[in-house]
Amino acid sequence: AARNPGQPEFHQAVDEVIESLWPFIQQHPKYAEQGLLDRLVEPERVLMFRVSWVDDHGDVQVNRGYRIQHSSAIGPYKGGIRFHPSVNLSILKFLAFEQTFKNALTTLPMGGGKGGSDFDPKGRSPGEVMRFCQAFVSELFRHIGSDTDVPAGDIGVGGREVGFMAGMMKKLSNRADCVFTGKGLSFGGSLIRPEATGYGTVYFAEEMLKQQGRSFEGLRVSVSGAGNVAQYAVEKAMALGAKVVTVSDSSGTILDEEGFTAEKLAELMEVKNHLYGRVSDYAGRVGATFLPGVRPWHIPVDVALPCATQNELDAGDARTLIDNGVICVAEGANMPSTADAVRLFEASQVLYAPGKASNAGGVATSGLEMSQNAMRLSWPREEVDARLHQIMVDIHETCLRYGRAADGKVSYVDGANIAGFVKVADAMLAQGVV
Ligand code: NDP
């Protein structure tokens, strides 16, 4: 803490991992050697830079850009770019740290990184967004590359923004290799990448439910967020027979007791992805109930899928979900549950999966995009979806293998942390102190 003052999210993420790892390391002392843990919690490289650009009024705007290159132990740095006014060093360091373990869990050769800016895309014109993306890459380009660091999207960065950044990267580098994933289909993107995180979260939850002999059929599901991850979590949960009753954004929650339908989801996508509107705009279009200023967690459900942002579900929310009989909580977002909420879930009978396991389908499919680009071909939708599904089934298996206690109870938190750690740690030990 003394070395990283004012970084509460980073401390939160590290504390959770170390808590899981400690008993394991005591049983396997080789992982306490070579300063391994001290090295693992220190990013290999932290980049912070000025991004200056000109808005539609001709005024100069200045934002701060970041890229955290946390670990390259098992492959090139890999992780998304986030544009949101809340972005700071602490949040990006926590995300890059988590990403390192998550990427190891996918079994693909990808190290961990994360980046972004405090730029707020809300209310900005398409021209302003493009100029910002170009200004951001005009510095970032010298630090990234297909075998060095391969960024992708995250909050506030979707297909449009990745396109602008990949276009600028190509112009500056005079190369067409894969430096960004989440690209459009016309210039190297992979089918199923937009769907991957949401679908993957639901595939993972499906495996968890199978532990209790259940399926999604007929279950009530709440989803938070209304962005990329949330939209495709809604779609896949519906496809598996669930009734999805909520989505949300930072302005409030949509409650739809009738449940989402394909038509309603298409409306939500139109409002969020094309009109860049709010969920309250969506409510007006389909006649759903909008609950301003509240999160979805007080609504009784069987399965909760937090898909918005970090620390969006606190201990009080966890208590309410448990009291209301929730069976399964699978995180589509990164660290959406606070540390106290995680403790409550883990002490209860609820099946609880941390984001680094359940949302790994996004980066896994980014890994598949890198492979397709390197081979100069593109796999059909069914093939990518089948690979994604298999990867999620395998991550679930891995979590069971490393997370089952002597009494038979499974901690997906321990499973994901230990399994991800072992892969990264073995690679670090083999490569010496570098
Ligand atoms: P989007 O920008 O598409 O959507 C984000 C959603 O979360 C929006 O509904 C947004 O609402 C809400 N949100 C964002 N910040 C806040 C906040 N501070 N308070 C309340 N609500 C907020 O992002 P994604 O769907 O891509 O990402 C969602 C989560 O999933 C993040 O935690 C991300 O790191 C994680 N993730 C994403 C992956 C991907 O492939 N995209 C992969 C793995 C994890 P509003 O519009 O009001 O801001």
Ligand 1 neighbourhood includes 197 CB (under 6 angstroms): yes
Q: Quick one: pLDDT at residue 184? A: 97
Per residue in 20-79, pLDDT (tens digit) is 999 999 999 999 999 999 999 999 999 999 999 999 999 999 999 999 999 999 999 999
CB atoms under 10 Å from CB of 281, counted, come to 17
Q: Which residue owns the Cα nearest ligand 1 atom 29?
A: 333
Q: Find the 16 Cα to ligand 1 centroid distance in Å.
A: 22
Contact by Cβ (8 Å): 315, 340: yes
Per residue in 232-241, pLDDT (tens digit) is 999 999 999 9
What pTM does this model have? 0.97
Q: Quick one: pLDDT at residue 1? A: 73
- The preferred substitution site among 155, 180, 202 for testing ligand 1, maximizing ligand atoms within 8 Å of CB, is 155
Tokens standing for 323?
A: 């009291």
Q: Quick one: pLDDT at residue 85? A: 98
Contact by Cβ (8 Å): 149, 143: yes
Q: Which residue owns the Cα nearest ligand 1 atom 22?
A: 250
Please list, residue by residue across 413-423, b when 16 or more beta carbons sit within 10 angstroms of its beta carbon and e when fewer do: bbbbbbbbbbb
Ligand 1 neighbourhood includes 249 CB (under 6 angstroms): yes
Whether residue 243 lies in the annotated active site = no
Candidates 102, 114, 243, 264; catalytic one: 114
Please list, residue by residue across 145-183, b when 16 or more beta carbons sit within 10 angstroms of its beta carbon and e when fewer do: bbeebbbbbbbbbbbbbbbbbbbbbbeebeeeebbbbbb
Ligand 1 neighbourhood includes 102 CB (under 6 angstroms): no
Q: Quick one: pLDDT at residue 110? A: 98
Ligand 1 neighbourhood includes 365 CB (under 6 angstroms): no
Please list, residue by residue across 194-233, b when 16 or more beta carbons sit within 10 angstroms of its beta carbon and e when fewer do: bbbbbbbbbbbbbbbbeeeebebeebbbbbbbbbbbbbbb
- Cα 243 to the chain's mean position, in Å? 23
Q: Quick one: pLDDT at residue 377? A: 95
- Ranges of residues in the chain whose predicted pLDDT is under 50: none
Measured between alpha carbons, how far is 6 from 9 in angstroms, rounded to an integer?
Answer: 9
Q: Which of 119, 191, 128, 193 is nearest to 164 (CA)?
A: 128
Query: For the CA atoms of the chain, what is the radius of gyration?
Result: 21
